[in-house]
């Protein structure tokens, strides 16, 4: 009795052979539509029979036929991609993806399909725990050069590349990839961009439905950048990232979203070293009306702009619970060394306050004001001088600190010239007043 499976395979082979003859005649005649239909019919036959190995073999065979039309290859690849999710197991799925990937390699007309295939294969590798392999696969594709790919799909692909690099802790490559996306691209109005292509321009494909919107991609982008800057403890850049997330309309409309983000902005402002950018962000945040919903943090920011010495112990006892509660909110904990850095920022603030009020102060008195030992006070002051946050000189034998900067000889001469000018002006006014009084007295004597 003949084997039904063998009979089925022979019947499938006969049908494929017949379609291959049709495909050959149409290809040689240059009939695009007939060639495309023949190739897709062969692929459909293999799929209906669930003959996955034959499907892979036929895809390779059809793509390598002499003078094969690019429209036929494109249609075949696009159709076979719909079958990936219907494969019986992971091995078959990977094999089909690899086959389609090899067929589309080096062909510009199926570059978008190849990018999507690589992305799917990388996702499978990641699910298997092979993060490094998934990242290497994604880095092979440079989607920024694909003219026909939708902008949102390009951004989503690059963000996936950045995420995988961060997951494998490859921060250098993550930064390089992130620079392919300009933050200004998120400010564009999508409704104004849908223009009809001019003659000769490539038609931009619609992005797949699973691709997030531009504003959702903006949030993902800044969340990934926060991960990158956290590795380098760049608090000011982290703060700017949270500020960009805070400005997204969907976030600003929902108090459940914007309150945790605004808290993070306040914390990272306090943690950031004092500079003009930090000062500008600090003042703009204080002007935000939403800050009244979290009055504790308004008080925290107010202390930073008030030129008064902050008592670290009092500040920490007031905000310790809020600081530790951040791990339960959006964005997670502030980092392992954040508490230590917060204390450093308070010390730096206090030294700046002292430098505003004193031109000269003893090292012991400075240490008392900062609630530190003399050695610690000298160490922190020296670090601020080295970083050019302030100008100071220490007379160590006398233990005196001078906050006055050394003047240039030209500045000294200009100062003397200005003082002489003021003195001569005063003498002239005095002479004028004396002369006036004398004239008044002479007039009185004559009378």
Is there a domain that residue 328 lies in?
yes
81 and 91 share a domain? yes
Q: In what order do the strands lie in the sheet containing 393-395? A: 360-362, 400-402, 393-395
Give Cα 183 distance to the centre of its chain.
8
96 and 49 share a domain? yes
Which residues make beta-bridge pairs with 30? none
Is there a domain that residue 411 lies in?
yes
Neighbouring C-alpha atoms within 13 Å toward the C-beta of 378? 13
228 and 157 share a domain? yes
97 and 114 share a domain? no
Is there a domain that residue 238 lies in?
no
Q: What's the structural domain count of the chain?
A: 4
68 and 180 share a domain? no
Chosen domain end from 356, 373, 408: 356
Cβ burial 276-300 (10 Å sphere, 16+ → b, else e): eebeebbeebbeeeebeebeebbeb
The CATH number given to whatever domain includes residue 368 is: 1.10.10.10
Cβ 170 vs Cβ 227: under 8 Å: no
Question: Between vectors from CA 233 to CA 229 and to CA 234, what angle results, nearest 5°?
Answer: 60
221 and 131 share a domain? yes
Is there a domain that residue 443 lies in?
no
**3-class secondary structure, 150:** coil
62 and 159 share a domain? no
141: phi then psi, degrees, rounded to nearest 5: -105, 130
Is there a domain that residue 61 lies in?
yes
290 and 380 share a domain? no
166 and 280 share a domain? no
Q: How far is residue 53's CA from residue 60's CA, in Å, rounded to a whole number? A: 11
Is there a domain that residue 284 lies in?
yes
pLDDT of residue 7: 46
Chosen domain end from 55, 90, 105: 105
* 3-state DSSP percent of the chain in helix, strand and coil, to 5: 75, 0, 25
219 and 332 share a domain? no
Distant-in-sequence contacts of 25-29, Cβ < 8 A, 24+ apart: 27/65, 27/67, 27/68, 27/69, 27/72, 28/67
Torsion of CA 36, 42, 44, 47, to 10 degrees: -150
Backbone Cα Rg of the chain: 36
Cβ 59 vs Cβ 45: under 8 Å: no
400 and 289 share a domain? no
- Kindly list the distances between the CA atom of residue 311 and the CA atoms of 298, 315, 427, in Å, as whole numbers in the listed order: 17, 6, 50
Distant-in-sequence contacts of 177-184, Cβ < 8 A, 24+ apart: 177/139, 178/221, 178/224, 178/225, 178/228, 180/144, 181/155, 181/221, 183/221, 183/244
* Full residue range of the structural domain in which residue 328 is found: 269-356
The CATH number given to whatever domain includes residue 225 is: 1.25.40.10
Is there a domain that residue 261 lies in?
no
Chosen domain end from 105, 120, 147: 105
- Kindly list the distances between the CA atom of residue 147 and the CA atoms of 73, 77, 187, 204, in Å, as whole numbers in the listed order: 20, 19, 21, 7
134 and 62 share a domain? no
User: pLDDT truncated to tens, each residue of the chain (447 aa)?
Assistant: 344 444 456 777 888 888 888 888 888 888 888 888 888 888 888 888 888 888 888 888 888 888 888 888 888 888 888 888 888 888 888 898 888 888 888 888 888 888 888 888 889 888 888 888 888 888 888 888 877 788 888 889 999 999 999 998 889 999 999 998 888 888 876 555 555 555 444 567 777 778 888 888 999 999 999 999 988 888 899 999 999 998 888 888 888 888 888 888 988 888 888 888 888 888 888 888 888 888 888 888 888 888 888 888 888 888 888 888 877 777 777 766 888 888 888 888 888 888 888 888 888 888 888 888 888 888 888 888 888 878 888 888 888 888 877 666 777 788 888 888 888 889 999 998 888 888 887 776 665
Find, among 230, 300, 232, the residue nearest to 263 by Cα.
300
pLDDT of residue 444: 67
């Amino acid at each position: 009795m003949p084997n039904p499976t063998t009979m089925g395979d022979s019947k499938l082979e006969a049908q494929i052979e017949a379609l291959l003859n049709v495909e050959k005649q149409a290809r040689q005649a240059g009939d695009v539509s007939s060639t495309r239909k023949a190739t897709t019919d062969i692929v459909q036959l293999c799929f209906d029979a669930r003959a996955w190995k034959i499907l892979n073999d036929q895809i390779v065979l059809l793509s390598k036929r002499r003078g094969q039309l690019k429209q036929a290859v494109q249609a075949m690849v696009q159709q076979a991609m719909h079958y990936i999710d219907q494969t019986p197991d992971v091995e078959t799925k990977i094999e089909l993806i690899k086959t389609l990937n090899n067929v589309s390699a080096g062909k510009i007309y199926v570059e978008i399909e190849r990018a999507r295939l690589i992305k799917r294969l990388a996702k499978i590798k990641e699910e298997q725990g092979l993060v490094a392999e998934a990242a290497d696969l994604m880095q092979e594709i440079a989607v920024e050069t694909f003219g026909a790919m939708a902008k949102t799909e390009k951004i989503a692909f690059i963000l996936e590349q950045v995420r995988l690099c961060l997951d494998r802790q490859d921060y250098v490559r993550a930064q390089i990839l992130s620079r392919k996306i300009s933050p200004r691209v998120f400010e564009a109005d999508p409704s104004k961009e849908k223009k009809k292509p001019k003659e000769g321009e490539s038609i931009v494909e619609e992005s797949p439905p699973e691709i997030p919107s531009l504003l959702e991609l903006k949030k993902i982008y800044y969340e990934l950048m926060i991960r990158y800057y956290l590795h380098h403890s760049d608090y000011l850049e982290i703060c700017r990232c949270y500020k960009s997330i805070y400005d997204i309309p969907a976030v600003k409309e929902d108090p459940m979203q914007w309150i945790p983000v605004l808290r993070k902005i306040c914390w990272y402002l306090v943690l950031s070293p004092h500079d003009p950018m930090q000062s500008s962000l600090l003042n703009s945040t204080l002007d935000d009306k939403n800050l009244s919903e979290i009055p504790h943090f308004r008080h925290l920011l107010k202390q930073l702009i008030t030129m008064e010495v902050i008592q670290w112990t009092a500040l920490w006892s007031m905000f310790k619970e809020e600081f530790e509660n951040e791990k339960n909110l959006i964005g997670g904990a502030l980092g392992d060394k954040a508490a230590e850095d917060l204390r450093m920022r308070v010390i730096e603030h206090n030294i700046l306050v002292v430098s505003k009020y004193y031109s000269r102060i003893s090292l012991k008195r400075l240490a008392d004001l900062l609630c530190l030992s003399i050695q610690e006070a000298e160490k922190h002051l020296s670090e601020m001088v080295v970083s050019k946050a302030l100008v100071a000189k220490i007379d160590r034998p006398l233990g005196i600190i001078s906050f006055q900067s050394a003047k240039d000889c030209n500045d000294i001469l200009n100062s003397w010239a200005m003082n002489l000018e003021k003195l001569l002006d005063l003498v002239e006014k005095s002479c004028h007043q004396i002369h006036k009084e004398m004239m008044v007295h002479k007039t009185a004597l004559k009378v």
